[in-house]
Structure 1
Amino acid sequence: MLAAERREHLLGLLTREGKIVAKDVAADLGISEDSVRRDLRDLAAEGLCQRVYGGALPASPAVADYATRTTVAPDGKQRVAVAAAALVRPDSALILDGGTTALAVARRLPPDLPCTVITHSPTIAAALLDHPRAELFLLGGRVFKHSAVACGAAAVEAAQNVSADLCLIGVTGVHPEAGLTTGDAEEAAMKRALAARAADTYVLASSEKIGTASRYRVLPWADVTALITDAAPDHPVVGQLTARGVEILTA
């Protein structure tokens, strides 16, 4: 089989099965695992898969730069935002993560809703400056420009000094095996720090992120109250998550 044919075969496996197991592909095609791993390295370099131990998973489209991500699945993000904003109770404290879906949540908070919003995103804070009844608490630190959020030791330390009723966090990948993932280690650590300071944590994930994975794990499912997604209830990955006991809120 030519290299181009192997590539198409691997991409087809990702689409049909949601993962690639290198040893199984090698056995099916009668080639070495090293050849499969080289092919996966090439695909990963093009952003077409996320390599993991023993094979690969579909890569998330949500690891693009911030400006590009604003154009990805805008309708799905709005549906997720509406469902998430409805969870914020009057006079409660909300920890709101950064990212394009969280920004949509901020814009969906009713103008008559009294609440406190704690965020490490200057973009989120700016979006709420004109909210008449939302108190703002901005956590500072080194700004990770890719997601327009503060990360690093200073930001994590600041997060440890707040508490909230609810935390809404975004991720770039949601996969039954890889779990909840994102593309930057410090951003993943910051998300964990934020989630640890809230009574309930909900994950915001529009449908293009379902079944994909990024490099760094954010949280175990046991630490998550529910996943909010616009993916259809009959989506195979949603079914797998439900079978694992993950609560799904369909937007």
Structure 2
Amino acid sequence: MLTSERKAYILKVLGRDGRVVAKAISRELDLSEDTIRRDLRELAGEGLLQRVHGGALPHSPAMGDLVQRREVSASGKVAIGRAAARLVSPGQVVMLDGGTTAVQLARHLAPGLKAMVVTHSPNVAVELAGHAGIEVELIGGRLFRHSMVAVGATAAEAIARIRADVYFMGVTGIHAEIGLTTGDSEEAAIKRALRRQAAETVVLASREKLGAASPFHVADAGEVDTMLVEADTPDQAVEPFRALGVTVIRA
């Protein structure tokens, strides 16, 4: 079998099953696991999948730049942002992540709401600038341009001094076994810092992130409290998270 044929088969299995197990593919094709692992490495290098222990998962389309991400699940992100905004109560201290869905959350906060929003996203802060009832605490640090958020030691130190009622987390990969992942190590560290400082964590889970994985681990799936998903998300996609004790809310 030619290399191109093997890779096409691997991608076909990935699309069909949502994962690839190297040992199973090697048996099906009567080839060595080393050959299949080499194919997986090359496919990962092309951005077509994310390697994990023993095989691979879909590469998250949420790994693109901000312009690209605005076009992915656009209507779903609006719905999730609107639903997330309804979870914010008057007087709360809310930690709000960066990303396109977080901007939608900020955009849909009730006009009369009085609360504090802590964010490391300049885009979110600008979105809230005209909201008279929201006090905005903007976390500074080194600007990570890919996601337009502050990262680094300065950001982490500022976050450690704040206690919040709820953290609305954005990630690029959400998988019941692999956990919550993102594409940059420093961004992952800031997300962990935000989660530690909040009494409750809500994950903003648009469709393209479910079942996908990115290189850097943020948290195990069972370590968050709630997931907000699009209304038409299949039950089989969310049942593994419910089994871990996560509350799943459809937007």
Q: TM-score range by the shorter chain?
A: over 0.9
SS at match of 1:202: strand
Rounded Cα–Cα distance in structure 2 between residues aligned with 1:212 and 1:16:
14
Q: Gapped runs of 5+ residues in structure 1? A: none
Q: Which residue of 1 aligns with 2:159?
A: 159
Q: Secondary structure at the match of 1:218?
A: strand
| Alignment correspondent of 1:74 | 74
Instruction: Quote how far apart the aligned CAs of 1:46 are.
Output: 1.6
Partner of 1:40: 40
Deviations 1:125-156 (A, max 9, x none): 11111111110101111111100000111111
Instruction: State the partner residue of 2:58.
Output: 58
Displacement of 1:231 after TM fit? 5.8
**In structure 2, what is the equivalent of residue 237 of structure 1?**
237
Name the residue aligned to 2:142. 142
Residue deviations 1:39-64 (CA, integer Å, cap 9, x gap) = 11121112110011211111100000
Distance in 2 (alpha carbons) for counterparts of 1:202 and 1:38: 37
Aligned position for 2:49: 49
* TM-score w.r.t. length of structure 1: 0.96
Q: CA deviation at 1:193?
A: 0.5
Alpha-carbon distance between aligned partners in 1 of 2:140 and 2:97, rounded to the nearest angstrom = 13
Partner of 1:171: 171
RMSD: 1.2
Deviation at 1:164? 1.1
- Residue 7 of structure 1: SS of its match in structure 2? helix
* Corresponding residue number in structure 1 for 2:84: 84
Q: Does 1:112 align with 2:112?
A: yes
Q: Does residue 248 of the first structure (1) align with residue 248 of the second (2)?
A: yes
2:204 & 2:74 partners in 1: Cα distance? 13
- 1:5, distance to aligned residue in structure 2 (A): 1.7
For residue 185 of structure 1, report the CA deviation from its aligned partner: 0.8
d(CA) in 2 for partners of 1:236, 1:181: 20
CA displacement at 1:235 relative to structure 2: 4.0
**Sequence identity percentage:** 49
Contact persistence 1:210–1:231 (CA under 8 A): no
* Counterparts of 2:167 and 2:226, CA distance in 1: 11
Counterparts of 1:9 and 1:241, CA distance in 2? 29
Output the CA distance in 2 between the equivalents of 1:213 and 1:236: 18
* Cα displacement (A) at 1:15: 1.3
How many residue pairs align between the two structures? 251
Secondary structure of residue in 2 paired with 1:166:
strand
Do the aligned partners of 1:233 and 1:239 also contact (CA within 8 Å) in 2?
A: no
1:193 partner letter: A
Structure 2 distance, partners of 1:36, 1:235, is: 32
1:123 aligns with 2:92: no
d(CA) in 1 for partners of 2:12, 2:243: 25
What are the Cα deviations for residues 170-193 of structure 1, in whole angstroms up to 9, with x where unaligned?
A: 010111211111111110110010
Aligned partner of residue 193 in structure 1, secondary structure: helix
Deviates more, 1:241-250 or 1:207-216: 241-250
* Length-normalised TM-score, structure 2: 0.96
Secondary structure (helix, strand or coil) at the match of 2:130 reads coil
Residues in 2 aligned to 1:233 and 1:143: alpha-carbon distance in whole angstroms: 33
Q: Which amino acid aligns with 2:80?
A: V
Which stretch of the first structure deviates more once superposed, 221-230 or 181-190?
A: 221-230
TM-superposed CA distance for 1:237, in Å, is: 2.4
Look up the equivalent residue of 2:149 and give its one-letter code.
V
Looking at structure 2, the residues matched to 174 and 4 of structure 1 have their Cα atoms a distance apart, in angstroms, of 29
Q: Which amino acid aligns with 2:114?
A: P
Structure 1 residue 203 corresponds to structure 2 residue 203: yes
Q: Is the 8 A contact 1:120 1:140 kept in 2?
A: yes
Gaps of 5+ in 2: none
